[in-house]
A and B are shown apart, each in its own frame.
Chain A
Amino acid sequence: MGIVHTLQRVPSEYAGAIMVVLGAWIFLRLERNQQTRAAVSERALEFLFTYIIIARLSGLFLHPGELLHMNVWTLLAQAPSQGWVYGLVGAVLIVLWRMRIHKQRDWPVLMAATNASLFGIAIWWLIRVFIDQGPFLVRTIGMLLITVFLLLFSLRKPSTWTLPHRIWTLMAVALLLTSIGLPKIVQLGLFTPVQWFAVLILFAGLAAEAALDIQKQKDPQRHSVPNRNE
């Protein structure tokens, strides 16, 4: 009971990240290419640590004035309510940058990372099926089905269509569509934070698609068919 009680104290946003990365790590055990497996596993751990640190400490950057009149340890014990957004965006950017400096941003690594992430995310949605209620449960079941479908679609015989940025773009579309029936708890301008995050992924995916189209126009031989089994 003590362990269960302690685990309950882990905030859901960190528990979610831990479950997703754990799921991704398990999925990566099935990856045949050892280099790809090692590369994605390293980045997954970096993602987890960066996410937790940024999400936890974003209050220090968001509310620096608090430092002036509050005990620093009390401040460190506080996490801003939307810290997960900063954590996710920051962790994704840092992982992409780390992939770039390690020259790992090639199709097999990106695809393995995408599939492993989808598996981890599916596990997280599956857990949430037993937690959420009402419209949140409808959203969760919808996202679980879509995530599993996208994973199976991506895992099927390698196709030139199932590129990582397209999978993430479809995930963003699914997130936006399933968010329609939810109560709007926090609204920042036009969207809720989850919707803003989905919009960010959507436009990043479209930017990647546009870049691919431009590259194809310039050099059709090199970029026409990215081989996922390279």
Chain B
Amino acid sequence: MNLVTKWVLILIGVVTLLAMVVTASPSKRGSATQTARPYDGYAAPDFTLPRLSDGQPVSLSQYHGKPLFINFWASWCPPCNAESPELVKAYAKYGSKVVFISINVTHDDTLANVKTFLKKYNVPYPVLLDKQAKVSNEYNVLALPTSLFVNRQGMIVARYSGAIPNPELISTLQRIEK
């Protein structure tokens, strides 16, 4: 095979390959798989937890079709304290478009400290209590804070362990609210 034929074939192959990758499965864009797992690309597992303010049970499934920001935290955790002012600011800007679900890992915390924390940072979004650490275990929360972003299709598009850099918080909220 001479060089010209070789490179023409390579060129055709590369163009075909890239065209296939760009155009294939457009319907799958942004859709979750049917499998529920607490990681990127999977559907967010459903859960039900009591709300701190009134004790009423809140389920993830009731927010079907809405973009979600889920944040696991504890009052004693320094990065949770560090990121809270940024989360409150982000809620003021995106709270009408994205549902903020704040989950306190109450199993490792105390209600008195939780209330002090919420007062200190003027947390305006609802807080759910994970008293038995059932949900944090199901979500494999190994470090606090852990945050997940879920798009309208119910797919987890980002998962962070540790405080989220503010530019990433804003850009990911903008991405899921579309």
**A interface residues with partner B (beta carbon < 8 Å):** 5, 8-9, 11, 59, 62-63, 65-66, 70-71, 74-75, 77-81, 133-136, 173, 176-177, 179-187, 190-191, 195, 199, 202, 206, 209-210, 213, 217
B146–chain A nearest beta-carbon distance, Å: 11
B175–chain A nearest beta-carbon distance, Å: 8
A2–chain B nearest beta-carbon distance, Å: 13
Contact A184 B21 (CB under 8 A): no
- What residues of A have a CB within 8 angstroms of the CB of B32 in the complex? 183
Contact B79 A181 (CB under 8 A): no
Contact B22 A74 (CB under 8 A): no
C-alpha gap A8/B29 in the complex (Å): 30
- What residues of A have a CB within 8 angstroms of the CB of B10 in the complex? 206, 209
Q: Find B17's partner among A62, A78, A177, A209 (CB 8 Å cutoff).
A: A177
- What residues of A have a CB within 8 angstroms of the CB of B165 in the complex? 59, 62-63, 66, 75, 78, 80
Q: Find A185's partner among B34, B155, B168 (CB 8 Å cutoff).
A: B155
Contact B33 A183 (CB under 8 A): yes
- What residues of A have a CB within 8 angstroms of the CB of B155 in the complex? 183, 185
Q: Does B37 have its Cβ within 8 Å of any Cβ on chain A?
A: yes
- What residues of A have a CB within 8 angstroms of the CB of B168 in the complex? 63, 80-81
- What residues of B have a CB within 8 angstroms of the CB of A59 in the complex? 165
C-alpha gap A77/B81 in the complex (Å): 14
Contact B161 A11 (CB under 8 A): yes
Contact A202 B14 (CB under 8 A): yes
A100–chain B nearest beta-carbon distance, Å: 26
A38–chain B nearest beta-carbon distance, Å: 36
Q: Find A180's partner among B21, B40, B164 (CB 8 Å cutoff).
A: B21
Q: Find A186's partner among B28, B140, B157, B163 (CB 8 Å cutoff).
A: B157
A140–chain B nearest beta-carbon distance, Å: 12
Contact B41 A173 (CB under 8 A): no
Contact B34 A181 (CB under 8 A): no
Q: Does B8 have its Cβ within 8 Å of any Cβ on chain A?
A: no
Q: Find B33's partner among A77, A133, A186 (CB 8 Å cutoff).
A: A133
C-alpha gap A182/B3 in the complex (Å): 36
Q: Considering the complex, which residues of chain B in the window 138-165 have a beta carbon less than 8 Å from any beta carbon of chain A?
A: 140, 142-143, 155, 157-158, 160-165
Q: Does B25 have its Cβ within 8 Å of any Cβ on chain A?
A: yes
- What residues of B have a CB within 8 angstroms of the CB of A186 in the complex? 157-158
C-alpha gap A176/B15 in the complex (Å): 12
List 10 other contacts, CB 8 Å, given A5-B142, A78-B160. Answer: A11-B161, A63-B165, A63-B167, A74-B163, A78-B163, A81-B160, A134-B34, A134-B42, A185-B157, A202-B14
Contact B35 A133 (CB under 8 A): yes
Chain B CB count within 10 A is highest, among A173, A185, A187, A206, for A185
Return the chain A residue nearest B30 by Cβ. A184
Contact A74 B33 (CB under 8 A): no
B38–chain A nearest beta-carbon distance, Å: 12
Q: Does B18 have its Cβ within 8 Å of any Cβ on chain A?
A: yes
Return the chain B residue nearest A137 by Cβ. B35
- What residues of A have a CB within 8 angstroms of the CB of B22 in the complex? 190-191
Q: Does B12 have its Cβ within 8 Å of any Cβ on chain A?
A: no
- What residues of B have a CB within 8 angstroms of the CB of A63 in the complex? 165-168
- What residues of B have a CB within 8 angstroms of the CB of A77 in the complex? 79, 162-163
Q: Does B31 have its Cβ within 8 Å of any Cβ on chain A?
A: yes
